[in-house]
Amino acid sequence: MNDFNYTLIILYFVLLAFLSIYGSHRYYLAFLFVKTLDKEITPDKEFEKLPPVTIQLPLFNEMYVVERLIDSVVKTDYPKNLLEIQVLDDSTDETVEIVKARVKKYMDEGYDIKHIHRTNRSGFKAGALEEGMATAKGEFIAVFDADFIPTPSFLKRTVHYFTNPKIGMIQMRWGHVNRDYSLLTKLQAIFLDGHFVIEHTARNRTGRFFNFNGTAGIWRKETIINAGGWQHDTLTEDLDLSYRAQMKGWNFIYLPMYEVPAELPVDIIAFKSQQHRWAKGSIQTAKKLLGRIFRSDYPLKVKIEAVFHLAGNVNYLVMIPFSLLILPLIIVRTELDWNRWLIIDIPLFLLATTSISAFYLLSQKYIFQSWKSTFKYLPFLMGLGIGLSVNNSVAVIEALFGHESEFVRTPKFGVEMGHEDWTKKKYRAKRKLLIPSIELILGIYFTIAVYIAFINHMWLVLPFLILFQYGYLFIALLSIKSIIESSLKRRKLLKISSQKA
């Protein structure tokens, strides 16, 4: 063993230990979830007279889903004279005319519905919500993104929780109308279920801060104003406002028993773009608020959980050097008695990886009363998490160094059950080859690592290497395929346009 080898091994264990801390935290959240699962959440009482409510529908170029959204919202089981609907439309395409026609239809039927169309995207979604709130009549404000399908009973089932004057926001659980559309949507659904079932429940029921998810929630208007309003200096205005409101002393309630269906991205590039925005926004919020939180007199458990919650995406940044170290360590171990190291690194590796399996299995057990069907997806799930590390690391770096970028909405295509062909529809997330190329290189890198481990009979290490290999190759090849298909479609459209000209 020379100094270089020792340095590699020490650095490897430091990074693995860091990842294991976050793995242990997942176990802790799962423990808190189970511990508080039977805690009953009921309103203190019911309103004797129902309060006025405004439903805000922020959207930008959503021609495939906007009619579905508006149609579902007007079916809300609530007195017409107490319900206002604001369609906050920043669109620049056919969506504007679709909304105008739909809004006119329901206005003629006696609904208090307004089409508020901005000619600029100042502040993006936060700016639209802020502008709508300036004229909102409601004492409470419900928000739904364009791809959501709220049920008629959602408001009557939830509004009474606000009889407690300290309650500032209520969040409902996201459902997934196209969960079974593809392997990608299935994995996304399980990812989100873990967040909504385990994380939200554990945090909320143990007195820690949790967040409004930008949609499928209801705010007390006074809370938004008191917390400083919608601000657009981060890409996650919902997370930012949530923490500022709770820091002002407002209480939030999470209601996992009430599900609001929504559409998952079916395009890998759109999914990665969404993940990039969430990862970057959470780090921006951490930079903005963690200092204030630690200087406050909040309980220690609140401060610690805020770090795990807001800064958790740093894990992805750690995953890259950790990944790069694995191959040299495999080579070093071929020259050493590598079995003795398994006593240390296998327990650490299990903490860093199997906690993911336990975490998501538990969420599926809560939703479907069974987790058997989820087992077959676990390797793909862990691989997807690894594969996202390049995409999300870029997001973290951009946030840490203050690189500004616009709010890029996730395109939706009205895809629900079945296998509708969305590829012929317009809207595409920006497609660049740099990140998929890096992912492909890492996939090839781990293919080499798998080969070396195989010829040296490192059977215990092999499954973990295959996870990394699969994760990077899965993300890279899906991305490259999507980019090629999009490029071919663009060329075809240009050719048709030139022929018509």
Active centre residues (catalytic) = 90, 238
Alpha-carbon distance 129 to 138, whole Å? 13
**Contact yes or no for 66/99 (Cβ under 8 A):** yes
**Which residues partner with 172 through β-bridges?**
255
Of 272, 463, 266, nearest to 384 by C-alpha is 272
**Contact yes or no for 73/215 (Cβ under 8 A):** no
**What is the three-class DSSP state of 434?**
helix
Which residues 6+ apart lie within 8 Å of 96 measured at CB?
Answer: 89, 117
What letter would DSSP give residue 269? H
End-to-end Cα spacing for the chain: 71
**What is the per-residue DSSP string for 53-120?**
EEEEEEESS-TTTHHHHHHHHHT-SS-GGGEEEEEEE---STHHHHHHHHHHHHHHTT-EEEEEE-SS
Q: How many Å is the maximal CA-CA distance in the chain?
A: 81
Of 433, 427, 435, nearest to 472 by C-alpha is 435
Burial of 488 (0-12, 13-18, 19+ CB in 10 A): exposed
**Contact yes or no for 434/391 (Cβ under 8 A):** no
Q: What is the torsion angle, in degrees rounded to the nearest 10, for the CA atoms of residue 334, residue 340, residue 344 and residue 345?
A: 20
Alpha-carbon distance 82 to 138, whole Å? 8
Other residues' Cβ atoms within 10 Å of the Cβ of residue 166: 12
**Rg value, the chain, Cα:** 24
Of 224, 223, 227, 203, nearest to 299 by C-alpha is 203
SS (H, E, C) 205-264: HCCCCCCCCCCCEEEEHHHHHHCCCCCCCCCCHHHHHHHHHHHCCCEEEEEEEEEECECC
What 343-348 contacts at long range (C-beta under 8 Å, 24+ apart), as own/partner pairs, is 344/13, 345/12, 345/13, 345/16, 346/460, 348/13, 348/16, 348/17, 348/20
Alpha-carbon distance 127 to 121, whole Å? 7
Which residues 6+ apart lie within 8 Å of 419 measured at CB?
Answer: 181
Burial of 182 (0-12, 13-18, 19+ CB in 10 A): middle
